[in-house]
Amino acid sequence: MRIHRGGPAVAGIALCLGALVACNGSSGTSGGGEAAGPPTAGAASPGAGGGKSPASAQGDARSLDGKVIVIDPGHNGGNADHPSEINRQVKIGNGSKACDTTGTETRAGYTEHAFTWDVSKRLAGILRSRGAKVSLTRKDDKSVGPCVTERAALGNRLKADAALSIHADGASASGHGFHIIEPLSIGRNSEMVSGSAELGEALRNAYHEGTGIPYSNYLGKKAIDRRDDLGGLNMSTVPKVFIECGNMQNKGDADKLSSASFRQRIAESLAEGFQTYLG
């Protein structure tokens, strides 16, 4: 989630209006695109990294009928070419932050925004197959934004049962593993903090078991970090967390995140986390 590429400024307005993104369809620099602040910190086969095969991969038929879930794929493919737009400051409840950011990428050039978009689409498909009503905060991987505040606002408008912002980190190459970011109360979001903690624990356990990716060795305690500087969490009124699925600057993590079959495994594991929380 860290890093930032710039490009020529082009006029335009942060794309995804709530009506657009509510279709059925980014912590380092994540946060629906927020820069996370310090620490900024061999190719895997489908089952690489250990972990048990998620129940969904075995034809889990449990139902999420009627549950409303918002998936927020961090960043967007057009952000780098619109620096003036994504650097615009927005109010996040206890201060201001950039509307969005560009995200990070692996050393081989696989971008965080492409990763989050791919995993989000896979996850949405699994959840919909179980009866959930799923909305994504952006409609493609070539537009700009939306701002972190708009990403939170979608879940609020839909009165989502749960929301997840998907990212990958850009920390030091020595750092590896995943972590969940949960909200701290800033007052306006106080009622969603306890539910977010439950959601975070369910997703952490399912992700760790299903993918075999270890807990982060550089941030958080048992893969849980709590923050009050991310607009995507501060402005949410529904249970919501972020996940940093791995560190794109670490070769082992990058190899896994770059594998399509492993991204499917990620999606299946996250679906199990939602199943535990909402079931």
State the catalytic residues. Answer: 244
Q: What is the CATH number of domain 68-278?
A: 3.40.630.40
The SS3 of residue 194 is helix
Question: In the chain, what percentage of residues exceed pLDDT 70?
Answer: 78
**Which pLDDT belongs to residue 5?**
39
Band of residue 46 on the pLDDT scale cut at 50, 70, 90: very low
Count of helices and strands (H, E) across the chain = 8, 8
Q: Across residues 83-108, what is the average pLDDT?
A: 98
Band of residue 34 on the pLDDT scale cut at 50, 70, 90: low
Domain locations in the chain as residue ranges = 68-278
State the DSSP string of 220-276.
SBTTEEEES--HHHHT--S-EEEEEEEETTSHHHHHHHT-HHHHHHHHHHHHHHHHH
pTM reported for the whole predicted model: 0.82
Separation in Å, CA 122 to CA 66, 72, 144, 238, 263: 19, 13, 21, 23, 8
